[in-house]
Amino acid sequence: MNRKIKGIDIASKVKFKSIEEYKTNYKSKQAPYEAILKYNVDIDPGTVFYYYNCGDEDRDSGTDKIPIGRLIINDIADEKIKNILSILKRFEDKDKIKEIIEWFIKKDKFIWKRNRVDGKLTDEISKANLENIHTWGGLEYKMKERQKKIKTVNESGEEIKIQITEKYIEILMVNEILNVKPLALEDHHSLIDYNPYKYLKAFHNAVEPLFLCFPPELREQMVGDSMPVLSDDDIQLINGIPLKGKEHNQQNKDEIMQIEDIEMEFWKDSSLDPHWFLNQQKYEDDVYQIEEEGEFIAKVNKVGKIWHESKKSFV
């Protein structure tokens, strides 16, 4: 938490190939390569590139797509819609895009995306995002439609509800997130401004399976920012209680130890007892007698004997 780990000990690394290969062969963005591009790192193919997370969140990189609102286009001419889509797609003239959205707002043909803040829905966040359109990394739009009921008046003057198809263009603000920096050679043995929460969470995820042998109340204490002071009585080992949120992964011992068909074929072909690692027993005779508690049960061949032994518990 206090950033006392040296850069070389906290950094991640990747063997750099080439920018050309990255742009050609990788379908998704990779944080180390994006950092190399952003910071204009001069690096030769085959060199190990060190980088570290310096952001405020766990992910090294990603794309945020934040809805702003909808342009209602039911009564808009096809040619005008085509022109609007062309401007949105290019995302070059941001003032023009803002002007288009404001025109729809004035015509009452724009529906803001509302966000929940302090338990209340508000459109203030979407409005603020539109005001800052020059800071957007990109824009994405989606042509959609939905069924909607509206009130109208019929020929008799009665108010009725009818269902219409509302066509709209959904506008999304797109920002590329990069939370990593290159680790300079001179910083390998220095203290750096890494994100302690990201690495602390990675550590917890790595050691979490070990918590299985401790009581649930102790597990909660062990995932905090600091380790609790524990006595010998506190760390008594247990079993049979799954980790929180992973109860569905709890397995039955008898099911785990049940010999599968493919394993049974091996024991038959090798003429070995399924408990070979315990008794070193091999079956080579043609007939065997099965007894339970000293009483005769049946006579079986080699395969029957192996099958019978497989049903016994390993422990």
* Least confident residue range of 21-35, 39-53, 85-99, 274-288: 274-288
Q: Are residues 35 and 133 in the same domain?
A: no
The 10s digit of each residue's pLDDT in 207-225 is: 888 888 888 888 877 776 6
44: CB partners within 8 A, 6+ apart: 16
Q: Are residues 294 and 147 in the same domain?
A: no
From 153, 177, 201, the end of a domain falls on 177
Q: Is residue 244 part of a domain?
A: no
CA gap 33, 18 in Å, rounded: 9
Q: Is residue 83 part of a domain?
A: yes
Q: Is residue 114 part of a domain?
A: yes
Q: Is residue 131 part of a domain?
A: yes
pLDDT(22) > 80: yes
Residue type, 131: E
Q: Are residues 162 and 193 in the same domain?
A: no
Q: Is residue 249 part of a domain?
A: no
Q: What is the mean pLDDT of residues 168-197?
A: 93
Q: Is residue 137 part of a domain?
A: yes
Q: Are residues 141 and 131 in the same domain?
A: yes
pLDDT(291) > 70: yes
Q: Which domain holds residue 298?
A: 254-310
pLDDT(31) > 70: yes
Q: Are residues 225 and 285 in the same domain?
A: no
Classify residue 268 as exposed, middle or buried by CB count within 10 Å of its CB (0-12, 13-18, 19+). middle
Q: Are residues 75 and 157 in the same domain?
A: yes
Residue 225 has what pLDDT? 62
The 10s digit of each residue's pLDDT in 232-281 is: 877 788 887 888 888 777 777 677 777 778 888 888 888 888 878 778 88
Q: Is residue 80 part of a domain?
A: yes
Residue 313 has what pLDDT? 63
Q: What is the mean pLDDT of residues 90-115?
A: 95
Q: Are residues 7 and 55 in the same domain?
A: yes
From 215, 239, 263, the end of a domain falls on 239
pLDDT(315) > 60: no
Q: Are residues 53 and 198 in the same domain?
A: yes
Q: Which two tokens stand for residue 299?
A: 């006579």
Q: Are residues 152 and 52 in the same domain?
A: no
Residue 241 has what pLDDT? 83
Residue 258 has what pLDDT? 74
Is 172:144 a contact under the CB 8 Å cutoff? no
pLDDT, averaged across the chain? 88
Q: Are residues 112 and 173 in the same domain?
A: yes
Structural domains in the chain (count)? 3
Q: Are residues 68 and 7 in the same domain?
A: no
Percent of the chain beyond pLDDT 70?
Answer: 96
pLDDT(2) > 80: no
From 212, 239, 266, the end of a domain falls on 239
Q: Are residues 133 and 68 in the same domain?
A: yes
Angle at the Cα of 127 (from 126 to 129), degrees rounded to 5?
65
Residue 112 has what pLDDT? 96
